[in-house]
A and B are shown apart, each in its own frame.
Chain A
């Protein structure tokens, strides 16, 4: 079966550009601005829709890598936090290993890992300063790859002040953990 998603998006953009835009009242500045934004949003979706699942897995893999990296200093935090981290790691690993896991499941597992990391970092504020420093340092270090992927993901929208330093999205999503 042929997936018509891309064709539909292209046809929608064409209709907005060639039929709707010329019919707008030239004095309707907000309508013109918003139409341009809608076209941009559809263009962006065209460029990214095939990569949505890959991106979700990438984010989960990287959050999992961070969770594993802070597991040792997490021992200095409350047992409940450390246990929640273990549970989230197990859930995330399960979602990644099951090829049939839907994108929503992978996203939920990723959200669970991020939530466990949130609680751990908050808990570490009152823990042994050495453990807190180790957790925070690792979190800052690990953020580099996911933020680079964010910059690559959103590059077509034109906000990045240094676009030349951003890798193609395919390369960013292939970055090792």
Chain B
């Protein structure tokens, strides 16, 4: 059987432990950035291995100690270890580290963010670490201290960074759905957070990172469709690698996206998950104190963030019942104009539309495909939560169907 035969008629169960020739065929067919490729290949090669083995606070604290013994000089102590819940993809432990940095004693409140045996979003700890280091001093982001890219000290790849003060949603009165989606900040906070939300988005997209050290990021060529193709191929890889069903609508979407790839006019840093729930703020001053979850960041087209941020599931209607608020903050009809004024960058409706379809395709791949596969194989500490994500199936498919009806 040739490699083409493998992917034309494969048995979805074989994806529980994919053969090497299938992995190579997917790589050949859907080329992506080098680091993205490395992560996806690692995911598939490890998939046939053991399910997630529960890790205790003591085991993680011991891993922190082993890492510090190998990486710093002088005495240290790890205390107050505790779990952080929230999110479906990473194991998170907070702790206090007392140590010496350059001979000066210091105390830091830190967090370990560790992958489970297989995450429903296969992202790179190394890349997140490089970017947080590069953004230090340019944007409010967690200070990144150490990365364990190849699970030398921790059971799985992990990142250690500083905790930032602040809350992701108001502590009283109004709420949010899963992972902070659709957060309702209320009129008072909204008015003060919205300008910052837009300013940071504009700043991220116009950052000059030419002098930054980002070796695991590939830079797409301006004037080509390379950036869009990398993003499309990443989404298609996830769908082909993870799913257990055929969805004809997804084939139509992939075909349309491939035929209409947009050209890149400007290389931006793209956050990848820019929305409410992924920034912290101080409730007293209403000042944004930190931007989190950079694991899907890449260099590419700003329209990816613009389309992501304006997804229906990320916002809600204002008190008047008519005004749709992007991420619960900015009226949709003001959002693009204000962004353009602040960034000096055009918002192209055609490219926005393309990225909307891509985002909807990716959401189906992630919820119907990746979350299902990972929960089926028992790969995380949150399998029950990932299994529940299947409940989004109709919602995300309806978003994709509606978009395709409009563009076709």
Determine the distance from Cα of A127 to Cα of B245 in the docked complex, in whole angstroms: 25
The residue among B313, B381, B388 with the most chain A CB atoms within 10 A of its own CB is B388
How far in angstroms is the closest Cβ of chain B from A42?
Answer: 11
Residues of A128-151 contacting chain B, CB below 8 A: 132-133, 136-137, 139-140, 142-144, 147-151
In the complex, what residues of A have CB within 8 A of residue B408's CB? Answer: 133, 136-137, 140
Tell whether A150 pairs with B397 under 8 Å between CB atoms, given A40-B388, A140-B405. Answer: yes
Interface string of B326-369 (1 = CB under 8 A from A): 00000000000000000000000000000000000000000000
Residues of B386-402 contacting chain A, CB below 8 A: 387-388, 390-395, 397-398, 401
Determine the distance from Cα of A38 to Cα of B387 in the docked complex, in whole angstroms: 10
Residue B6 at the A interface, CB < 8 A?
Answer: no
Tell whether A147 pairs with B245 under 8 Å between CB atoms, given A125-B255, A154-B391, A154-B392. Answer: no
Residue B251 at the A interface, CB < 8 A?
Answer: yes
Interface string of B304-331 (1 = CB under 8 A from A): 0000000011000000000000000000
Tell whether A111 pairs with B394 under 8 Å between CB atoms, given A140-B408, A147-B401. Answer: no
In the complex, what residues of B have CB within 8 A of residue A159's CB? Answer: 177-178, 391-392, 395
In the complex, what residues of B have CB within 8 A of residue A30's CB? Answer: 83, 85, 381
Residue B384 at the A interface, CB < 8 A?
Answer: yes
Residue B28 at the A interface, CB < 8 A?
Answer: no
Determine the distance from Cα of A125 to Cα of B85 in the docked complex, in whole angstroms: 45
Residue A58 at the B interface, CB < 8 A?
Answer: no
Contact across chains for B397 and A147 when beta carbons are under 8 A apart: yes
Which stretch from A7-15, A16-24, A91-99, A113-121 is at the chain B interface?
Answer: A113-121
Contact of B387 among A29, A41, A149, A151 (CB under 8 A): A41
Determine the distance from Cα of A160 to Cα of B178 in the docked complex, in whole angstroms: 12
Interface residues of chain A: helix, strand, loop or mixed (majority) = helix
Contact of B8 among A111, A119, A140, A160 (CB under 8 A): A119
In the complex, what residues of B have CB within 8 A of residue A117's CB? Answer: 246, 248, 251
How far in angstroms is the closest Cβ of chain A from B175?
Answer: 13
Residue A157 at the B interface, CB < 8 A?
Answer: yes
Residue A37 at the B interface, CB < 8 A?
Answer: yes
Residue A161 at the B interface, CB < 8 A?
Answer: yes
Residue B221 at the A interface, CB < 8 A?
Answer: no
Inter-chain contact count A-B, CB under 8 Å? 104
Residue A122 at the B interface, CB < 8 A?
Answer: yes
Contact across chains for A143 and B248 when beta carbons are under 8 A apart: yes
In the complex, what residues of B have CB within 8 A of residue A140's CB? Answer: 249, 252, 401, 404-405, 408
Interface residues of chain B: helix, strand, loop or mixed (majority) = helix
Determine the distance from Cα of A150 to Cα of B397 in the docked complex, in whole angstroms: 9
Residue B3 at the A interface, CB < 8 A?
Answer: no
Determine the distance from Cα of A29 to Cα of B182 in the docked complex, in whole angstroms: 23
Contact across chains for A118 and B246 when beta carbons are under 8 A apart: yes
Residue B247 at the A interface, CB < 8 A?
Answer: yes
Contact across chains for B248 and A121 when beta carbons are under 8 A apart: yes
Residue B385 at the A interface, CB < 8 A?
Answer: yes
Contact across chains for B255 and A114 when beta carbons are under 8 A apart: no
Contact across chains for B394 and A151 when beta carbons are under 8 A apart: yes
Contact across chains for B85 and A33 when beta carbons are under 8 A apart: yes
Contact of B245 among A114, A125, A152, A157 (CB under 8 A): A114
In the complex, what residues of A have CB within 8 A of residue B381's CB? Answer: 30
The residue among A30, A38, A159 with the most chain B CB atoms within 10 A of its own CB is A159
Contact across chains for A29 and B85 when beta carbons are under 8 A apart: yes
Contact across chains for B252 and A139 when beta carbons are under 8 A apart: yes
In the complex, what residues of A have CB within 8 A of residue B8's CB? Answer: 119
How far in angstroms is the closest Cβ of chain B from A28?
Answer: 9
Determine the distance from Cα of A142 to Cα of B177 in the docked complex, in whole angstroms: 30
Determine the distance from Cα of A143 to Cα of B249 in the docked complex, in whole angstroms: 7
Contact across chains for B401 and A143 when beta carbons are under 8 A apart: yes
How far in angstroms is the closest Cβ of chain B from A117?
Answer: 4
Contact across chains for B398 and A151 when beta carbons are under 8 A apart: yes
Interface string of A30-47 (1 = CB under 8 A from B): 100110011011001000
Determine the distance from Cα of A69 to Cα of B246 in the docked complex, in whole angstroms: 18
Contact across chains for B395 and A151 when beta carbons are under 8 A apart: yes
Determine the distance from Cα of A161 to Cα of B384 in the docked complex, in whole angstroms: 22
How far in angstroms is the closest Cβ of chain A from B341?
Answer: 30
In the complex, what residues of A have CB within 8 A of residue B394's CB? Answer: 147-154, 160
Residue A77 at the B interface, CB < 8 A?
Answer: no
In the complex, what residues of B have CB within 8 A of residue A121's CB? Answer: 248, 251-252, 255
In the complex, what residues of A have CB within 8 A of residue B177's CB? Answer: 159
Determine the distance from Cα of A152 to Cα of B85 in the docked complex, in whole angstroms: 30
Please name the 6 residue pairs, one residue from A and one from B, whose CB atoms are nearest each other, closest first. A150-B394, A151-B394, A157-B391, A114-B246, A121-B251, A154-B391
B residues within 8 Å of A by Cβ? Answer: 8-9, 83, 85, 177-178, 182, 245-249, 251-252, 255-256, 258, 312-313, 381-382, 384-385, 387-388, 390-395, 397-398, 401, 404-405, 408
A–B complex contacts, Cβ < 8 Å, 19 sampled: A30-B85, A40-B388, A41-B387, A41-B388, A115-B246, A117-B248, A118-B251, A122-B251, A132-B255, A136-B252, A139-B251, A139-B252, A140-B405, A147-B401, A157-B388, A159-B177, A159-B178, A159-B392, A160-B394
Given contacts A114-B246, A136-B256, A161-B395, 14 further A-B contacts (CB under 8 A): A30-B381, A37-B388, A114-B247, A117-B248, A122-B255, A133-B408, A139-B252, A140-B252, A150-B397, A151-B394, A151-B398, A159-B177, A159-B392, A160-B395
